[in-house]
Chain A
Amino acid sequence: MKKSLYIFILAIIAPVFSACDSFLDRQEDEQMTEEKIWKSYENTKKYFFNCMGYLPNEASQFHNGMVNFGGADEASMTWNYPYRHINFGSWNVTNIPCDKFELRYQALRDCNIFLRNVLNCSDPIIETDSSRKEMLEVWYYCVRWARAYNYFLLMRDYGPVILLGDELIDFTARAKDIERQRNPWSECVDYVVSEMTLCAEHLPESYNYANMGLPTKGTALAVISRLLLYSARPQFNGYPVYRSVRNPDGSYIFPPEFDAQKWVKSAEAAKAVIDLGIYKLYKDADHPDDPYLNYYGIFQKNWNEEIIYVDGGIRNRRDISVHVAPTDIATASGGAYGGWGPTQSSVDSYAMSNGRYPITGYKKDGTPIVDELSSYPDVENEFDLVSIKNPFLKSLGTSDADATSNSPQMYYDREPRFYVSVYYPGAGWKHGSAVGRAYFADGAVGHTTHDYPKTGYLVNKFYDHTMDSYQGQWGTITFPTYRYAEILVNFIESELECEANGVRSSDPSINHETAMSLWAELRERSGLPPITDAYPDADIHTLIDLIHKERQVEFAQEGLRYYDIRTRMIGTSVNNGPVYGLDVYVRASINDKEVPAAMWKRAVVENRVFRINHHLNPFPQREFDRNKILTQNYGW
Chain B
Amino acid sequence: MAAAAMLLIFSSEISSAQQTGKITVEGTVVDESGEPVIGAGVLVKNTVNGVITDVDGHYSITVNAAAGGGVLVFSSLGYEEQEVEVRSRTTLNVVLAAATNMIDDVVVVGYGTQKRSSVVGAISTINASDLRTPTSQLSSGLAGQLSGIIAVQTSGKPGANNANFYIRGVSSFQGSVNPLVLVDGIERNLNLIDTEDIESFSILKDASASAVYGVRGANGVILIKTKNGSVGKPQINLRAETGITQPLKIPSFVNAEQFAQMYNWATNSEYYTEEDIEKYRTQSDPDLYPDVDWMKTMYKNFARLHNIKMSVSGGTETVRYFVSGIMYDESSIYRNAGNVYDYDSSLNYKKYYFRANLDLNLTSSTVLLLNLANIYESRILPGSSDGNIWSWAFSISPNSVPKEYSDGTIARPSGTIENPWNLLVHTGYQEDFCNTAQSVVGVKQDLGMITKGLTANVKFSWDAFSRQNLSRTKTPTQFHAKGRDEDGNLIYGDPVVKGGESLGFSNSSSAEITTYLEGSVNYERLFNDTHRIGALFLYNHKIHRYTANTSATNAIPYKNQGIAGRLTYAYKDRYFAEFNVGYNGSENFAPGHRFGLFPAFSAGYMISEEPFWKPVKNVVNMLKFKASYGLVGNDQIGGARWLYLPTIIGGNSYTLGENGGYGGSGLAVGRPENLDFSWEKEKKLNIGIEFELFNQLRIMSDFFDCRRSGILIRRAALPGIAGLQNGDKLPYVNIGETWNKGFEVSMEWHKKVGEVYLTSRGNFTYNRNNLVNNDTPDWEYKYENRFGRPFGTGANQPWAYVALGLFQSEEEIENSPKQTFGEYRVGDIKYQDVNGDGEINSHDRIYLGYPNLPEITYGFGLNAEYKGWDINAFFQGISHINIFIGGTTLSSPFSNTAIERAAMQTDLWEKGWSTLTNNGQDLSQASKAVYPRLSFGSEPGSANNNQTSSWWQRDGSFLRLKNFEIGYTVPKSTMVKIGIAQHARFYIAGTNVLTFSKFKLWDPEQGGGQGASYPNNRIWTIGVNVKF
Contacts and interface: CB of A to CB of B under 8 A. Distances in A.
Contacts of A175: 717-719, 775, 777
B665 A49 contact: yes
Contacts of A43: 667
B726 A25 contact: no
B667 A106 contact: no
B556 interface: yes
Contacts, number: 220
Interface string A46-68: 11111111100100000000000
B559 A53 contact: no
A46 B556 contact: no
Contact of B519 (A17, A46, A113): A17
A8 B445 CA distance: 11
A212 B656 contact: yes
Given A19-B539, A210-B656, A37 B667 contact: yes
Contacts of A6: 445
B891 to A, nearest CB: 29
B585 interface: yes
A142 to B, nearest CB: 10
Contact of A24 (B561, B721, B729): B561
Interface stretch (B313-321, B588-596, B935-943): B588-596
B541 A19 contact: yes
B669 A9 contact: no
B539 A50 contact: no
A368 interface: no
B458 A622 contact: no
Nearest to B779: A625
B363 interface: yes
Contacts of B672: 168, 171
B719 A627 contact: yes
Interface in A261-312: 302-303, 312
B539 A476 contact: no
A623 interface: yes
A106 B519 CA distance: 50
A539 interface: no
Contact of B458 (A12, A45, A51, A213): A12
Contact of B655 (A2, A31, A171, A213): A213
B719 A626 contact: yes
Contacts of A126: none
Contacts of A620: 720
Nearest to B456: A9
Contact of A23 (B561, B666, B673, B733): B561
A247 to B, nearest CB: 15
Contacts of A17: 519, 539
B236 interface: no
B978 interface: no
B676 interface: yes
Contacts of A48: 654
Contact of B662 (A172, A180, A211): A211
Interface in A200-246: 209-214
A489 to B, nearest CB: 28
A401 interface: no
A109 B539 contact: no
Interface residues of A, number: 75
B244 to A, nearest CB: 50
B983 interface: no
Given A34-B669, A49-B652, A16 B519 contact: yes
A110 B651 CA distance: 10
Given A1-B363, A24-B561, A49-B665, A211 B591 contact: no
B552 A29 contact: yes
Given A27-B557, A49-B652, A171-B718, A314 B666 contact: no
Contacts of A625: 777-780
Contact of A101 (B539, B648, B720, B778): B720
A47 B723 contact: no
B626 to A, nearest CB: 33
Given A19-B539, A106-B729, A9 B656 contact: no
A314 B366 contact: no
A245 B659 CA distance: 47
A46 B777 contact: no
Contact of B725 (A9, A102, A313): A102
Contacts of B676: 172
Contacts of B717: 174-175, 626
B362 A5 contact: yes
B674 interface: yes
A323 to B, nearest CB: 19
A46 B657 contact: no
A315 B561 contact: no
A209 B661 CA distance: 10
Contacts of B664: 45-46, 49
B667 A50 contact: yes
B655 A169 contact: no
Interface string A84-120: 0000000000000000011001111110010000000
Interface string A172-183: 101100111000
A33 interface: yes
Interface string A147-183: 0000000000000001010001101101100111000
B724 A303 contact: no
A500 to B, nearest CB: 39
Contacts of A13: 456, 458, 519, 539
B110 to A, nearest CB: 19
B81 interface: no
A31 B779 contact: no
A315 B655 contact: yes
B558 to A, nearest CB: 10
A313 B655 contact: yes
Interface string B489-512: 000000000000000000000000
B645 interface: yes
A521 to B, nearest CB: 28
B591 A25 contact: yes
B668 interface: yes
B245 to A, nearest CB: 45
B443 interface: yes
A21 interface: yes
A29 B556 contact: yes
B735 interface: yes
Contacts of B729: 106
A25 B642 CA distance: 11
B811 to A, nearest CB: 33
B658 interface: yes
Contact of B658 (A12, A29, A303, A622): A303
Contacts of A53: 651-654, 666
Contact of B594 (A21, A107, A169): A21
Interface in B543-588: 552, 556-557, 559-561, 585-587
B979 interface: no
Interface in A350-394: none
B756 interface: no
B719 A172 contact: no
A485 to B, nearest CB: 23
A108 B729 CA distance: 14
B701 to A, nearest CB: 38
Please list the 3 inter-chain residue pairs (A to B) with the smallest Cβ-Cβ separation, ordered nearest first. Answer: A53-B652, A109-B723, A50-B666
13 contacts: A13-B519, A19-B539, A24-B560, A24-B586, A45-B664, A49-B664, A49-B667, A53-B654, A101-B720, A178-B719, A210-B657, A302-B658, A626-B718
Given A50-B652, A50-B667, A315-B655, 14 more contacts: A1-B363, A13-B539, A21-B591, A25-B591, A45-B664, A53-B651, A54-B652, A105-B722, A109-B724, A171-B724, A210-B658, A313-B656, A313-B660, A630-B719
Interface of A: 1-2, 5-6, 8-9, 12-13, 16-17, 19, 21, 23-27, 29, 31-34, 37, 43, 45-54, 57, 101-102, 105-110, 113, 162, 164, 168-169, 171-172, 174-175, 178-180, 209-214, 302-303, 312-315, 476, 620, 622-623, 625-627, 630
